[in-house]
Structures are given as structure tokens and as C-alpha cells.
């Protein structure tokens, strides 16, 4: 069962499959960064931003001076210790559980990690990176990839830094289900054929929400993106940086845009790669993402048909899609063995496995092999891809990715649907967006309908008036963050600069395009943004 609006870095999705680890949970598979800058906003180029819902508005920017009640948080000193891989250090930072009532004894600890710049070259400050999600572990991403895989000149001049956002991994994590209960949840039929199956799916979402409420009632009201952005500003200050230097991937672009909207005068060099559109309400976001996965699948289908080992035939993309739909229909009626007796490969897990591989074209050969094996009655390959998507280890333990993902999404915006009847009304538009994935992703969008905490956010335009140039990166055939979202965000931001990658996969930086990497590296190292509208 796919969790609605999970925006993940390529590396996390396919890491369990042994492919290049380049991300951690929601966004891109490559370097990302930002550095202090105070340049003027660049002129806006063509493009129309998507309007916000009536009445939706951004939270008012913070005052230039730090509020007195928050001063102790901004003045704290981090105590670093060696941790994880060689060269990395870790610490914890205090943040108020509730920013409306700081200093009331309800603080939480935010886990932070860094790798100090070693030169050569002038140190440019801290480079904060976020892999997305929501729910992705920044520390895991930093230590597994960013701290060792970013371009050497960037790592030489920046302290590479990340943190686990509130509710995630090491930072007061949200918890919801036991491993066996999560196994059952991921197998529930996500394309119900009748009222009884609809009720079973709704019950699964209710039980998921109830588990979160039972285990994480303290945190659920306080894991919004706005609160995480405020944590980032505290972190900026305690790291000793006047401006925030940041690269966010996928959902990390929403976090970065939220920060810029709250603290425009503190924006340094921001790269938002695989951008979200904060002005689009949940229903539109989910439908757009459905269309994005269809676009990515058709690109895969076109390539697959040219390969001698394509298990879905060698016809047109429509014919390849028809074969995949038929495969899903068969495993819905009769799951195939997967090597785990408790988890045969049914439609839900099979769909998740396919979606996982669409994040990166480097996984296409693996997807062909896994589909061929499943067609022969052996589903272990697709199950492994699904497990990597859900961050389930071989012992049946899940990371808290999916729990944090739902908690943040359901707090950031009102639900896409109020109940099954709303999904049924929207099904035609989802199936038009994707004949292959539309029905499943429409029903997955029901997940926030039963959430125990009312949403505190709403769709709104992110303008960040007065901020330095912000580079927004969009990939034309990105499955998880459709290209039009990058166009919209770049046009909303007063200082947005759009950089386009005409390619496949989720996000662009560090994924093999010298044109993209050169443009971003130059921006990070000397503060010169690419020309607005540049295409690679």
C-alpha cells in the first residue's frame, strides 16, 4: 500500500537492491547544497504559478530579531562526538516541542551530524542537506552519501551537515505499528473491487492512524513542515552561520521553500531539487504525482520494448502498459510466492515494487528482471523493491519513514478525501492521469481522512520576498515531483531561478548531467546562479 505523497530520494528507494546509494528518502540521488549569499533577486522568467486555494495564506515571516522566548535555543552550544562512519560527528540540539509555548519544559532533541570541511580552499560555512520524505533521515543520507559523495570542491569548502527532522528517525520519532502489523498493512488491497474491500481498506487506514495516536500522541500535533523549518533556523544559528546554506531534494524543497518564506532575510544559497508546488492542495498534488508516475512508466515502457529481455512485450507503451495491468490483475486474484510465506506478492506489494524502480532509470534492468521472475511465479525481486521503498529490513523491522511521512503530510494540509465516496468520484480523473496506477494511487490518497490530529497547514504560495536567488531544479520526466511543480515554485518565489533537466528519474543533481552539476556547483561555490530558464 503506497502512502500518499511519499517523495523520496532515489538512493533510499533502491538501496536495498544494491544499486548506487545516492539519497535517503525522498528526493534526488545526488549532491545538494547551499551557501551564504546576499545577492539581489533575479528577474522572473516565463511561467505561471499555480494559484493557492481561496483563503490559503503563508505563515507570516518571522521578525528579524529573535523572540526573547527563543533566545536560549538560539544561544545553545552543540557538543560534538565522533559517530558513524569515520570523519563524522554527531550532536543533539534542543528545540521547543511547541513554538507557541517555548521554554515550558517540553523540549525535544533534534539529532544532528556533520563532516567538517578539510580544504583546500576557503571554508564557506555549513551546507545543510535534506533528502526529503517527509520522513527521510538526514543523518543517514549524510553519512551514507552526501558527506562522501558530493563533489570534492564542495565538501572541501563546506562543513557537510544534516539533521533528522522532528518526528523522524533519531529526533523524537513517530511510531505507529509493530512490524507484523505493518506487514499486514502493506498487503491490503489498494484497488478495492466492491464495498466490502473498500471497507477493509478504510479500516486499515483507521487502524494505522489509531496506532500512531496510541504510540505518538505527544508528537503528532508538532511535526509540521513549518515547525521543522523553524528548527532549521535554530540549527543555522547554533552552527554559527548568518545565512542558511541548503540543498533540499523532493519534499526537502517544500521544507526549503517554507524556510525561505518564514526567514527570507536569512536565505543564503538554496537549491531546491525535484520541487514541490506548495500552492497545490492535497488532491491536486496526489493526482499530479499519479500523472508523474505514468509519465515515468511510459518512458520505462518505451525503453523496455527495445530490450531483448522485456517481460512485457515489445509493442507500444500502451501495449506494455496493458501487459502490466494484466499482471497486476492476476496477482490481485492469486498472489505468487515471494520467499516469505507470510507475505506473498499480491497487487499492492507488486505495485509498490514497480513504483520504487521508477524513481531511477538505473533500476530499469532490475525491474525487468523482477517482473520476469514474478511472471514465472517467483515474486522475491519485486518484494525486495517494495521492502526498500518501505525501509523494511530482513528481520521484519521498519524504519519510521512511513509513520513520519503520514504524520507530516496529514498535518501540513487537509486530507485529499473525506471518505471512500470522495475517492469514487475522483477515480475517473486519477485513471485518466494514469491508466496503470490511477486507481491504486487514488485510494492511497484516502490515508489522511482518518488522521487523529487536524491539519494545521494549508496550500499557499511561497514567495519569500526579499530572499537572495533560489535555484529551483526540475526534471522533465520526474515520477514523484512532476516538472510543472518546479515551474510553479520557481515562478512563485520572488527570486526563483528555474533550472531544467530534460531526463528521466527523480531529481537531477548528481545524476550524471555535467550541465546540471556544473551549474549547481558554480552557484554553491561562488554564488553565481544559473540563468533563469537554463535547460540541460
Q: What is the model's pLDDT at position 134?
A: 96
| pLDDT over threshold 50, residue 17 | no
Q: What is the model's pLDDT at position 15?
A: 31
Q: Which helix (H) or strand (E) holds 207?
A: helix 195-216
Angle between helices 401-412 and 225-238 in degrees, nearest 10: 110
HEC-encoded secondary structure of 404-469: HHHHHHHHHCCCCCCCHHHHHHHHHHHHHHCCCCHHHHHHHCCHHHHCCCCCCCCCCCCCCCCCCC
Distance CA 161, CA 63 (A): 26
Angle of CA points 313, 315, 318, to nearest 5°: 105
State the average pLDDT over residues 399-416.
Answer: 97
Distance CA 410, CA 507 (A): 24
Q: What is the model's pLDDT at position 19?
A: 24
Q: Which three cell numbers stand for residue 286?
A: 496526489
Contact 26, 8 (CB under 8 A): yes
325-366 residue pLDDT tens: 999 999 999 999 999 999 999 999 999 999 999 999 999 999
Percent helix, strand, coil in the chain, to 5, is 45, 15, 40
Q: How far is CA 508 from the centre of its chain?
A: 14
Region for residue 94 given its phi and psi (left: phi exceeds 0; alpha: psi -120 to 50; beta: otherwise): beta
CATH T-level fold of 10-42+69-163+225-277+458-535 = Rossmann fold (3.40.50)
Q: What is the model's pLDDT at position 85?
A: 85
Distance CA 225, CA 192 (A): 32
| pLDDT over threshold 90, residue 11 | no
Give the whole-number percent of the chain exceeding pLDDT 90. 86
State the average pLDDT over residues 510-516.
Answer: 93
104-114 residue pLDDT tens: 999 999 999 99
Q: What's the DSSP call for residue 361?
A: G
CA dihedral of residues 460, 469, 227, 510 (deg, nearest 10):
110
State the average pLDDT over residues 507-512.
Answer: 92
Residues written for the chain: 536
State the average pLDDT over residues 285-298.
Answer: 96
Q: Which three cell numbers stand for residue 247?
A: 540543498
63: which residues sit within 8 A by CB, 6+ positions away?
none
Distance CA 416, CA 451 (A): 12
Contact 27, 250 (CB under 8 A): yes
Active site positions, annotated: 250, 478, 506
Q: Indicate the domain borders of the chain.
A: 10-42+69-163+225-277+458-535, 179-219+282-450
What sign has the CA pseudo-torsion 405, 407, 410, 411? negative
Amino acid at each position: 500500500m503506497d502512502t500518499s505523497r511519499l517523495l523520496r530520494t532515489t538512493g533510499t528507494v533502491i538501496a536495498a537492491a544494491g544499486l548506487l546509494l545516492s539519497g535517503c528518502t525522498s528526493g534526488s540521488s545526488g549532491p545538494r547544497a547551499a551557501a551564504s549569499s546576499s545577492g539581489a533577486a533575479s528577474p522572473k522568467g516565463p511561467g505561471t504559478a499555480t494559484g493557492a486555494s481561496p483563503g490559503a495564506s503563508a505563515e507570516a515571516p518571522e521578525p528579524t530579531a529573535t523572540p526573547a522566548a527563543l533566545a536560549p535555543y538560539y544561544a545553545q552550544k552543540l557538543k560534538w562526538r565522533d559517530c558513524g562512519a569515520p570523519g563524522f560527528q554527531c550532536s543533539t540540539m534542543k528545540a521547543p516541542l511547541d513554538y507557541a509555548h517555548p521554554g515550558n519544559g517540553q523540549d525535544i532533541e533534534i539529532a544532528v551530524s556533520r563532516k567538517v570541511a578539510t580544504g583546500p580552499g576557503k571554508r564557506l560555512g555549513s551546507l545543510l542537506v535534506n533528502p526529503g520524505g517527509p520522513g527521510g533521515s538526514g543523518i543517514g543520507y549524510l553519512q551514507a552519501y552526501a558527506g562522501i559523495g558530493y563533489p570534492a570542491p564542495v565538501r572541501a569548502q563546506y562543513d557537510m551537515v544534516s539533521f533528522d527532522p522532528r518526528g523522524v528517525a533519531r529526533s523524537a520519532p513517530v511510531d505507529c505499528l509493530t512490524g507484523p502489523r505493518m506487514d499486514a498493512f502493506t498487503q491490503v488491497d489498494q484497488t478495492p473491487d466492491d464495498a466490502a474491500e473498500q471497507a477493509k481498506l478504510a479500516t486499515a487506514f483507521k487502524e494505522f492512524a489509531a496506532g500512531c495516536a496510541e504510540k505518538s500522541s505527544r508528537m503528532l500535533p508538532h511535526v509540521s513542515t513549518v515547525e521543522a523549518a523553524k528548527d532549521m533556523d535554530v540549527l543555522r544559528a547554533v552552527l554559527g552561520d548568518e545565512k542558511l546554506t541548503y540543498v533540499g531534494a523532493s519534499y526537502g524543497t517544500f521544507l526549503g521553500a517554507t524556510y525561505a518564506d518564514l526567514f527570507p532575510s536569512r536565505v543564503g544559497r538554496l537549491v531546491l531539487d525535484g520541487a514541490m508546488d506548495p500552492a497545490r492542495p492535497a488532491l491536486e498534488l496526489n493526482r499530479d504525482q499519479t500523472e508523474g508516475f505514468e509519465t515515468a512508466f511510459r518512458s520505462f515502457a518505451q525503453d523496455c520494448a527495445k530490450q531483448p529481455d522485456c517481460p512485457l512485450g515489445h509493442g507500444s507503451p500502451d501495449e506494455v502498459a496493458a501487459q502490466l495491468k494484466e499482471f497486476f490483475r492476476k496477482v490481485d486474484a492469486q498472489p505468487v510466492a515471494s520467499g516469505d510465506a507470510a507475505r506473498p506478492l499480491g497487487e499492492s506489494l507488486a505495485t509498490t515494487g514497480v513504483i520504487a524502480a521508477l524513481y531511477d532509470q538505473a533500476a530499469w534492468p532490475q525491474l525487468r528482471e523482477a517482473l520476469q521472475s514474478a511472471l514465472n511465479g517467483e515474486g522475491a525481486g519485486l518484494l525486495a523493491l517494495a521492502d526498500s521503498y518501505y525501509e523494511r529490513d530482513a528481520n521484519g523491522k521498519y524504519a519510521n519513514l512511513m509513520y513520519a511521512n503520514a504524520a507530516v503530510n496529514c498535518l501540513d494540509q487537509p486530507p485529499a478525501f473525506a471518505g471512500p465516496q470522495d475517492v469514487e468520484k475522483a477515480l475517473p480523473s486519477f485513471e485518466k492521469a494514469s491508466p496503470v496506477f490511477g486507481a491504486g494511487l487514488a485510494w492511497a490518497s484516502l490515508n489522511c481522512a482518518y488522521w487523529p490530529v487536524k491539519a494545521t497547514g494549508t496550500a499557499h504560495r511561497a514567495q519569500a520576498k526579499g530572499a537572495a536567488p533560489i535555484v529551483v531544479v526540475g526534471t522533465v520526466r520526474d515520477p514523484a515531483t512532476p516538472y510543472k511543480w518546479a515551474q510553479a515554485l520557481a515562478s512563485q518565489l520572488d527570486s526563483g531561478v528555474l533550472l531544467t533537466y530534460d531526463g528521466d528519474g527523480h531529481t537531477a543533481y548528481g545524476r550524471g548531467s555535467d550541465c546540471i552539476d556544473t551549474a549547481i556547483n558554480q552557484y554553491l561555490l561562488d554564488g553565481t546562479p544559473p540563468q533563469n530558464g537554463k535547460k540541460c
